[in-house]
């Protein structure tokens, strides 16, 4: 968090002290007609319940194939290894009812990477996995082993470092007046559970941070956040927030990478659901592309529809990108996002689902079954539970199509080297 000279540490501790004195006030649902916005953190699951994935015998293994012949897999494995080398060697990673430390995770990935350099046949791959690796399968949403796969991609936007009639929509960094208060400061029962995102109102109170409508209706951030850039299209900026990262081509010929940094603390609401509920789009037609088309064809409704989602995303610059939650660059077609609470970060996985077959006119001709090795390197607010996974498709036309239309079920497996394997 950045602070101006006015918002120094003394000022912050004053706020915390004030919060401490009035803790009970902040824990109420309504104070003087205004609810204080709280955001629930991802809470650790109760491990006494059924685990979100289970060890399966070789007879239940999928047919291990790789539809893109291991292209990009070594690169993605290296990214996971770079993450694992940054964490303590005894960090625990949970696979169903079993745990492995980061040292073993690294060995597992390195061993697999060396093997795929040979571009093994299907039979050689099958024999290798069965003899050297343990395989765990996600239990799925309703304990049926079915996982809903969706996709995301890296959008390209046109922008400028300066506001103009052509470039008038700001890409904001974290505002200096945005505060994050951890409720565990006041009671151990809130440890790891909740935080408050708000702002100091100036009359000895903390209030919820501005919602999307408030931010976009006035110049409320003019003195607290200098825009990273200004972009051309408001709808494209909204979907940049949904994707979490992207590239902006500046009118000076330069290219910048922007990445999710924080939110305004308001809960995300899907505008697709609004359009479904209002009968604007049929469920059978629903896709990111269909939503964009509706908005572009109904400019008088854009403000109302976008403001249905009160959540607002603040960005930061990155030298490269896109960057996942493990702070490593994502690999197109190889990086997936899952629920961080239940699936091991950086782990090798295998997915079975469907991918779009696109014709020369960039239209989906059909959907084909495929299997592929991936790395668990990202997460997302809508990706919760053992029945959800999100595939990063990269950038370009195909990536946008796959990300926009993909909503197919499949299975998700995780692989780990057998502890007694001799390297």
pLDDT, residue 186, reads: 64
Residue 72 near residue 331, CB atoms below 8 Å: yes
pLDDT, residue 98, reads: 97
Q: What are phi and psi of 148, to 5 degrees?
A: -85, 120
Higher pLDDT, 32 or 254: 254
Half-sphere exposure of 328 (CA within 13 A, CB side): 27
Q: What are phi and psi of 310, to 5 degrees?
A: -75, -15
Structural element, H or E, at residue 261? strand 255-263
pLDDT tens for residues 130-170?
Answer: 999 999 999 998 899 999 999 999 999 999 999 999 999 99
Which residue is listed with tokens 């057998």? Answer: 418
Residue 6 near residue 192, CB atoms below 8 Å: no
User: What token pair was written down for 326?
Assistant: 């493990």
Q: Averaged over 300-309, what is the pLDDT? A: 97
Q: Are strands 133-138 and 408-417 parallel, antiparallel or unpaired?
A: antiparallel
Residue 269 near residue 213, CB atoms below 8 Å: no
At residue 364 the predicted structure's pLDDT band, cuts being 50, 70 and 90, is very high
pLDDT, residue 381, reads: 75
pLDDT, residue 196, reads: 82
SS3 assignment, position 18: helix
Q: Averaged over 47-62, what is the pLDDT? A: 87
CA distance 120 to 334: 18
Other CB atoms within 10 Å distance of the CB of residue 332: 19
Residue 212 near residue 307, CB atoms below 8 Å: yes
* Domain limits, the chain: 1-36+175-210, 53-153+326-417
| C-alpha distance across the termini of the chain, in Å | 45
Q: Over 90: is that where the pLDDT of 296 sits?
A: yes
User: What token pair was written down for 378?
Assistant: 């990202």
Q: What share of the chain is helix, strand, coil (3-state, %, to 5)?
A: 30, 30, 45
Reported pTM = 0.81
Q: Domain 53-153+326-417 falls in which CATH fold?
A: Barwin-like endoglucanases (2.40.40)
pLDDT tens for residues 164-214?
Answer: 999 999 999 999 999 988 776 666 665 555 678 999 887 778 899 999 999
């Amino acid at each position: 968090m950045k602070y101006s000279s006015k918002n120094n540490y003394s000022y912050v501790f004053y706020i915390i002290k004030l919060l401490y004195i009035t803790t009970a006030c902040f824990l109420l649902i309504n104070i003087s007609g205004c609810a204080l916005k709280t955001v629930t953190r991802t809470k650790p699951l109760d491990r006494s319940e059924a685990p979100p994935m289970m060890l399966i015998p070789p007879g239940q293994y999928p047919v291990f194939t790789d539809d893109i012949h291991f292209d990009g897999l070594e690169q993605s494995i290296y990214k996971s290894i770079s993450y694992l080398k940054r964490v303590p060697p005894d960090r625990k990673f949970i696979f169903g009812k079993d745990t492995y430390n980061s040292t073993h995770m690294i060995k597992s990935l390195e061993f697999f990477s060396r093997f795929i350099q040979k571009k093994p046949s299907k039979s050689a791959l099958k024999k290798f996995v069965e003899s050297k690796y343990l395989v765990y399968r996600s239990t799925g949403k309703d304990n049926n082993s079915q996982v809903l796969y969706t996709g995301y991609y890296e959008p390209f936007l046109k922008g400028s470092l300066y506001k103009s009639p052509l470039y008038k929509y700001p890409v904001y960094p974290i505002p200096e007046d945005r505060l994050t208060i951890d409720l565990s400061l006041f009671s151990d029962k809130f440890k790891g559970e909740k935080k408050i995102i708000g702002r100091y109102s100036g009359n000895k109170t903390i209030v919820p941070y501005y919602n999307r409508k408030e931010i976009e209706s006035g110049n409320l951030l003019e003195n607290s956040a200098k825009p990273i850039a200004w972009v051309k299209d408001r709808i494209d900026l909204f979907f940049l927030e949904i994707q979490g990262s992207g590239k902006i081509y500046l009118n000076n010929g330069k290219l910048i990478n922007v990445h999710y940094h924080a939110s305004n603390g308001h809960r995300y609401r899907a505008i697709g659901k609004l359009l479904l509920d209002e009968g604007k789009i049929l469920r059978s037609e629903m896709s990111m592309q269909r939503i964009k088309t509706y908005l572009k064809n109904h400019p008088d409704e854009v403000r109302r529809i976008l403001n249905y989602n009160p959540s607002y995303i603040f960005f930061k610059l990155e030298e490269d990108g896109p960057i996942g939650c493990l702070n490593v660059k994502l690999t197109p077609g190889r990086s997936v996002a899952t629920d961080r609470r239940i699936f091991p970060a950086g782990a090798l996985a295998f997915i079975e689902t469907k991918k779009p077959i696109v014709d020369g006119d960039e239209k989906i001709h059909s959907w084909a079954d495929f299997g592929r090795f991936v790395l668990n390197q990202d997460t997302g607010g809508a990706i919760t539970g053992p029945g959800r996974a999100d595939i990063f498709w990269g950038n370009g036309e195909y990536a946008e199509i796959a990300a926009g239309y993909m909503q197919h079920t499949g299975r998700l497996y995780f692989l780990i080297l057998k502890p007694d394997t001799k390297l």
